[in-house]
Amino acid sequence: MIFVTVGTQLPFDRLLAAIDDWAFANPGEQIIAQTGVTTVSSPRIDARPFVDGSTFRELVQQADVLVAHAGMGSILTAVEFAKPVIVMPRRADLGEHRNDHQLATVQNLAHLSNLEIVQDAQTLSSVLDKQLGAGPLEKLREGISDGHRRLVGEISNFIAGGSLGGTLTFGEA
């Protein structure tokens, strides 16, 4: 599940439109968005103008990836739950905020290992694909049985420097 949050102060239609474009190309992915006030609507997104604090935390915890404006609350919650976060900062020159403090925020937090900074829809799309593992191995995994899936997982773990941990029986796959 992807959880998108734009904060509550001002509309952030550029981010929501970018997510909607990505959702159109990836119809199987569940997307929940805290949208604030917006003119963007989509049948592909579970849009919620506002969510309370506990619901926000639950959604971040459940998400595979968080997509957010550069609000400190969103970023800190993603760090707390060790969630990957893709941040698109609001820009004053596009009328998305009163100043460019969100650009300054991401410049100061760019070193965080779970944070990816994007400035446009195209980059957001490619980073989402990367975060959700839309590579060739993941696509291969979609069409295989549970036994084969475990075998691929064990081989991947072994290649990554781990060891073969489970017991696989031939004929199980």
What Cα–Cα distance (Å) separates residue 40 from each residue in 8, 142, 172?
15, 32, 48
Average pLDDT (78-105) is 76
**Residue matched to tokens 């969630």:** 83
Q: How many CB atoms sit inside 10 A of residue 100's CB?
A: 14
- What's residue 155's pLDDT? 63
User: pLDDT tens digit string along 147-161?
Assistant: 655 665 566 566 655
Query: In which residue ranges of the chain is CATH 3.40.50.2000 found?
Result: 2-131
Return the percentage of the chain with pLDDT > 90, whole number: 41
The pLDDT mean for the chain works out to: 78
pLDDT band at 68 (very low <50, low <70, confident <90, very high): very high
Q: What's the CATH fold of domain 2-131?
A: Rossmann fold (3.40.50)
Distances (CA, A) of 154 to 107, 115, 135, 143, 150: 38, 28, 18, 17, 6
Residue with tokens 């290992």: 113
* pLDDT of 125: 93
Average pLDDT over every residue of 101-112: 65
* 83 has pLDDT over 80: yes
Segment 17-55, tens digit of pLDDT? 999 999 999 988 999 999 988 888 899 999 999 999 999
At residue 32, φ and ψ (nearest 5 deg) are: -115, 130
